[in-house]
Structure 1
Amino acid sequence: MDKRKPTLIRHTVQDNHAELELRVDGDILYFQGHFDQFKLLPGVAQVDWAVFYARQYLNTPSAFKGMEVIKFQEPILPDAEVTLSLTWDEDKQKLAFKYTSMDGERLAVHASGKMKLAQPDAEE
């Protein structure tokens, strides 16, 4: 079976916010062929994980309706430990996410953005 999710180290959930500490194991399927000389976690995997964990911990709707304000700033490399912060805005039906890690004493922001989610049968 191909591994697609990181190792969850710990998580906290409070109201509409979740924070997860993840180890992005080097044997995750998404690293295969992306890229041979400099492996990095593709943005599509980061978005997939944000939606997956938001559904699991914040009970968000499952249908992806679009992205806005997305930035991929620093690559996530194999075996990195990152923090995924998720905030669900029920009124706007928007999920904000951010991947960060500590680089020495500096907080590195790997990716951030907002996405619109809805029930699978919801009309826009």
Structure 2
Amino acid sequence: MMAKRKPTLLACEQSEQHVLLTFKVDADIQDFKGHFNHFPLLPGVTQIDWAIFYSSQYLNTPVNFKGMEVIKFQEPILPNAEVTLSLTWDESKHKLAFHYQSQRDGGVVTHSSGKMKLGDASE
């Protein structure tokens, strides 16, 4: 059996340059193992990986990472959390903006956000 690496998709709202995905970040996702033993949280590198994966799937973006701008990890994403991932693709700049958020106590919590440059392997 392959290790589980992606969350359970609960909802998807899509337009040409934007997609809003709602996930359950299942506790059995492989990336929680060892990060950290007594306080598991979703690694930042996994959040970036998911942003690239889902942007290529829903927005047809290139998959090659070319650089990062303005990245903030503000609140940990814990096992079994329900989060939204907002992805916006700027084709002219080859930049992907991402935001992971959830609801808590009637308000919105931002877990992480940033922008990254994506391109083709030949660039």
TM-score by length of 1: 0.97
2:95 aligned residue: 94
1:120 aligned residue: 121
1:38 aligned residue: 39
1:54 aligned residue: 55
Structure 1 residue 12: Cα displacement: 1.1
Q: Percent identity?
A: 61
Structure 1 residue 15: Cα displacement: 1.4
Q: Which structure 2 segments of 5+ residues have no match?
A: none
**2:27 aligned with 1:29:** no
Q: Which runs of 4+ in 1 moved over 2 A?
A: none
CA RMSD of aligned residues (A): 0.5
Structure 1 residue 62: Cα displacement: 1.2
Total equivalences in the alignment:
122
Q: Distance in 2 between matches of 1:88 and 1:112?
A: 14
Structure 1 residue 115: Cα displacement: 0.1
Structure 1 residue 120: Cα displacement: 1.4
Structure 1 residue 76: Cα displacement: 0.1
What are the superposed Cα offsets for residues 70-91 of structure 1, whole Å, 9 maximum, x if unpaired?
Answer: 0000000000000000000000
2:73 aligned residue: 72
Q: Distance in 2 between matches of 1:62 and 1:2?
A: 22
Q: Distance in 2 between matches of 1:7 and 1:75?
A: 18
